Amino acid sequence: MRIRRIVLNLLFVAAICLAGWLLIRNVDSYSMDEIVESLAQIPFWRLAAAVGFAFASYACLTGFDALGLLYAGKPQPYWRAALTSFVSLSMGHNIGLAALSSGAIRYRFYSRWGLYAEDVAKVVLFSGMTVVVGLVALCAIAMFMGPDRAAEITGIDAGNVRMIALALMASLVLYVVLCWLIRRPLALRTWRLRLPSFRLALAQIGLGTINFGLIAACLQQLLLAHQPVGYWDTAAVYAIANGAATASHVPGGLGVLEATIQFLMQGSAGIGAIIAFRCVYFFLPLALGFPLLLLSEHFLRRDGNRSSSAAAQASS
């Protein structure tokens, strides 16, 4: 147990250092002139809408943690889940391997509030599954609503694209039914995995779908500043590409995001949209999450020391 705690704390320190380095490196990867020019090309109201959709997405992600804590049997006040989620994911999205990087930061926060490593692992697992079902749901809806664009991406004819969309929807229905019927833990070698309750499974799909729908809306607002792009076209391309990014654990969808936007747009306008989206969805939350982490380290550690002193005095 002590070795595990040391390893997780080392991962936490590594995440802090890497987040700071990434913030500097990512911003430096574009010149200030490029950033200013790409953002200046976007009408203020579209840029404001994109920022709003981005932070609405991060608000949805706080629900992932809140539901994950319920799944782990360790419910906490919402502000704790929100703070932990935003700080950990604003960094995890940029670092990559989000389950590991954000998991170390989550452990740092939740361990102060009485959770063990196993509890945090359940929260991370639940959040990861919510990402999967949400991505599958949006992909199914987008493929069904915009089969032509999905067919262009995948090389499959539009009729078969809709059949695949229905199959994806059926897989989500099957997941919910299994969560409803199977209440005993599933044994996977030494692991015992318990499926979420029926209500939690429905909440997973709903919240996960809304989250990815908001990300697609954020991206569309930035693309519309350059040329007309339909929402379902954007959602279809983003969902399929993001599925590949999630499977490969690429930091911030690096490369895949570029391919997505270049597929929808051509020329220098696509580069401007890429820079704008990275600034809005990745750099801005990271720039807020990093100081929030440092502030929380100061105040939560101070509160923890006070609690420990009070407990020691009470026992004496």
Write the pLDDT tens digit of every residue in 105-142: 898 899 889 999 889 999 999 999 999 999 999 989 98
182-203 core/surface letters (b: 16 or more CB in 10 A; e: else)? eeeeeeeeeeeeebbeeebbeb
Q: 37 near 276, Cβ under 8 Å?
A: no
CA distance 149 to 263: 10
Instruction: Tell me whether residue 34 is in a domain.
Output: no
Q: Is the whole model's pTM more than 0.85, yes or no?
A: no
Count CA atoms closer than 13 A to 20's CA, side-chain side.
9
Burial (0-12, 13-18, 19+ Cβ within 10 Å), 111: middle
- Main-chain phi, psi angles of 154, to 5 degrees: -90, -20
Domain assignment present for residue 213? The answer is: yes
Question: Which tens digit of pLDDT belongs to each residue from 225-251?
Answer: 888 888 988 888 888 777 665 555 455
With beta carbons less than 8 A apart as the criterion, state whether 18 and 101 touch.
yes
Q: What are the angstrom distances between the C-alpha of 250 and each of 58, 92, 155, 247, 300?
A: 19, 11, 24, 8, 32
Of residues 108, 129, 154, 124, the one with CA closest to residue 15 = 108
Distance CA 118, CA 111 (A): 11
If you average pLDDT over residues 203-210, what whole number do you get?
96
Name which of 198-202, 244-248, 304-308 the model is least confident about: 304-308
Residues 6 or more apart whose Cβ sits within 8 Å of residue 245:
253, 254, 256, 257
Average pLDDT of the residues of the chain: 80
Q: What residue numbers bound the domain in which 223 lies?
A: 60-288
Does the pLDDT value for residue 38 go beyond 90?
Answer: no
Count of structural domains within the chain? 1
The more confidently predicted of residues 155 and 31 is 155
Secondary structure in 3-state letters for 245-256: HHHHCCHHHCCH
Residue 250 in any domain: the answer is: yes
Is the pLDDT at 308 greater than 50? The verdict is no
Q: Rounded distance, CA 299 to CA 100, Å? A: 25
- Alpha-carbon distance of 179 to 309, in angstroms, equals 44
Whether residue 77 lies inside any domain: the answer is: yes
CA distances to 86, 134, 140, 242 from 147, rounded to whole Å, are 34, 19, 10, 17
Residue recorded with tokens 């809304």: 210
Long-range contacts of 82-89 (CB under 8 A, 24+ apart): 83/109, 83/292, 83/296, 84/109, 84/110, 85/58, 85/61, 86/58, 86/61, 86/62, 86/285, 86/288, 86/289, 86/292, 87/289, 87/292, 87/293, 87/296, 89/58, 89/61, 89/285, 89/289
**Would 4 be classed as within a structural domain?**
no
Domain assignment present for residue 173? The answer is yes
